[in-house]
Amino acid sequence: MKVLVIQPKIGMGDMVIYLPYIHAISEKYKSKISILVKNNSRANELLLDDEHFEEILILDRTKNQSGSHDGIKGFLKLVNEIKSKKFDKVFIFSGSLRYFFLTKLAGIKNIAQYPLLRKKDNIVTSAKIFTENELNEIISTQPFLKIKQEKVSKAKQKMPSEYKHICLGISASGPTKRWDIQNYLSLCEKINNYLPSKFYLAGGKKDQELIKVILDSNIGSNCKSFSELKISETLPIIKNCDICISNDTGWLHIASALKVKCLGLFMDSPVLAYGKYSKNISVIVPEGETEETTTHDTLGKDRISFEKVYSQAIKLLS
């Protein structure tokens, strides 16, 4: 049976969070599956070594309507592309009418989809309930990213054993979700004074100003930037880290899926959606908030306790 999964979320973290359910679908049907995703999901790099996937199809839609799948003409182009693959079944992790009509017109007979037109949901709960109902089995929410062991071993050889290795997820989707870079700098210095450490600055080209702050500091010689690396090149490095300290960003979820102990700093995003699905993530929320009250518009980045982050980090490193 040829199976397609449509996962329309845009972020790396979202892609990782959906993995347990996509893996379960592949295992249920005992075959590799294809997925339709947006380019910003970085699925091509995240899933490079994952044997569950037959093909990664990229949905090319943009805000300025210049993508090859934008507009009526682009929609019909996508219909024909999907139709040519001759899928037997599709799982749509969205309530969008667009995806329903897309798969109908593409001739897919068996369509499983979220309730139509549903807008707001808990990303983990919705995916879990939907997939469990379709497959009639219990599915763990814990994701796993697959990497070839030789890549992990090769990266480990370049990471001196006399140091602790710490991944820092300093980027974020917006400034209200980002702990101040000076806090990260002070944290690096204090941790290194206690335990000699190497720090891996997880961010992209858009984060180079933040990265520069740390690289130009006294601790800079102990740091390596990910900004010029492909996502696939960072995975073996992260896998070999002792811990990851991160804002609620894709890097946090990647590290979690690589079985790294993570400390997630949540200041303006829902902990119950993004911080509780993985046994590898410990959460810190703003002073005066709880895991239940920390959500969108909490605006608590200035209330994340430095001492609490430091003490939790040392505990995870012990």
Yes or no: say if 119 and 8 are a contact pair by the CB < 8 Å rule: no
Q: What average pLDDT does this structure show over 36-44? A: 96
Grade residue 259 by pLDDT with cuts at 50, 70 and 90.
very high
Report the percentage of the chain scoring pLDDT > 90.
94
Q: Is the pLDDT of residue 11 over 80?
A: yes
How much is the pLDDT for 121?
Answer: 78
Yes or no: say if 41 and 9 are a contact pair by the CB < 8 Å rule: yes
How much is the pLDDT for 118?
Answer: 79
| CB neighbours of residue 188 within 10 Å | 24
Q: Is the pLDDT of residue 57 over 90?
A: yes
3 state DSSP class of 121 = coil
Claim to verify: residue 49 and residue 90 sit in the same structural domain:
yes
Q: Residue 210, CB half-sphere, CA atoms under 13 Å: how many?
A: 24
Rounded CA separation 178/265 (Å): 9
- Domain membership of residue 142 (yes or no) is no
Give me the chain's average pLDDT, please.
Answer: 96
Claim to verify: residue 13 and residue 72 sit in the same structural domain:
yes
End of a domain among 103, 135, 167? 135
Render pLDDT for 180-208 as a digit per residue (tens, 0 to 9). Answer: 999 999 999 999 999 999 999 999 989 99
Claim to verify: residue 295 and residue 176 sit in the same structural domain:
yes
Instruction: Look up tokens 């989809």; give the residue.
Output: 113
Count: domains in the chain:
2
End of a domain among 105, 135, 165? 135
Rounded CA separation 204/229 (Å): 8
How much is the pLDDT for 247?
Answer: 97
Residue 218 carries which side chain, given as an amino acid letter?
Answer: N
DSSP label at residue 100: H
Rounded CA separation 176/11 (Å): 17
Claim to verify: residue 172 and residue 102 sit in the same structural domain:
no
Claim to verify: residue 121 and residue 216 sit in the same structural domain:
no
How much is the pLDDT for 120?
Answer: 75
Q: Is the pLDDT of residue 246 over 80?
A: yes
- Domain membership of residue 122 (yes or no) is yes
Rounded CA separation 241/156 (Å): 9
Between residues 221 and 10, the one the model is more confident about: 221
Rounded CA separation 202/105 (Å): 41
DSSP 85-125: H--SEEEESS--HHHHHHHHHTT-SEEEESPTT-----HHH
Render pLDDT for 84-130 as a digit per residue (tens, 0 to 9). Answer: 999 999 999 999 999 999 999 999 999 999 999 877 778 999 999 99
Grade residue 63 by pLDDT with cuts at 50, 70 and 90.
confident
- Domain membership of residue 15 (yes or no) is yes
Per the structure, the complete domain to which residue 207 belongs is given by 149-317
Q: Is the pLDDT of residue 295 over 80?
A: yes
Claim to verify: residue 35 and residue 159 sit in the same structural domain:
no
Domain harbouring 154, CATH code = 3.40.50.2000
Yes or no: say if 168 and 136 are a contact pair by the CB < 8 Å rule: no
- Domain membership of residue 140 (yes or no) is no
Q: Is the pLDDT of residue 18 over 90?
A: yes
| CB neighbours of residue 257 within 10 Å | 26
Claim to verify: residue 72 and residue 129 sit in the same structural domain:
yes
Grade residue 245 by pLDDT with cuts at 50, 70 and 90.
very high
Grade residue 64 by pLDDT with cuts at 50, 70 and 90.
confident
Which whole-number Å values give the CA distances from 191 to 158, 196, 249, 317, in the listed order?
21, 7, 22, 10
Claim to verify: residue 178 and residue 285 sit in the same structural domain:
yes
Rounded CA separation 242/234 (Å): 15
- Domain membership of residue 288 (yes or no) is yes
pTM (predicted TM-score) = 0.95
| Burial of 163: CB neighbours in 10 Å, binned 0-12, 13-18, 19+ | middle
- Domain membership of residue 144 (yes or no) is no
End of a domain among 135, 157, 184? 135
Claim to verify: residue 130 and residue 157 sit in the same structural domain:
no
- DSSP H helices, 5-66, are 12-28, 43-46
Claim to verify: residue 16 and residue 94 sit in the same structural domain:
yes
How much is the pLDDT for 173?
Answer: 87
Claim to verify: residue 123 and residue 164 sit in the same structural domain:
no
How much is the pLDDT for 300?
Answer: 97
Claim to verify: residue 155 and residue 184 sit in the same structural domain:
yes
Render pLDDT for 136-172 as a digit per residue (tens, 0 to 9). Answer: 999 999 999 999 999 999 999 999 999 999 999 999 9
- Domain membership of residue 143 (yes or no) is no
Render pLDDT for 22-37 as a digit per residue (tens, 0 to 9). Answer: 999 999 999 999 999 9
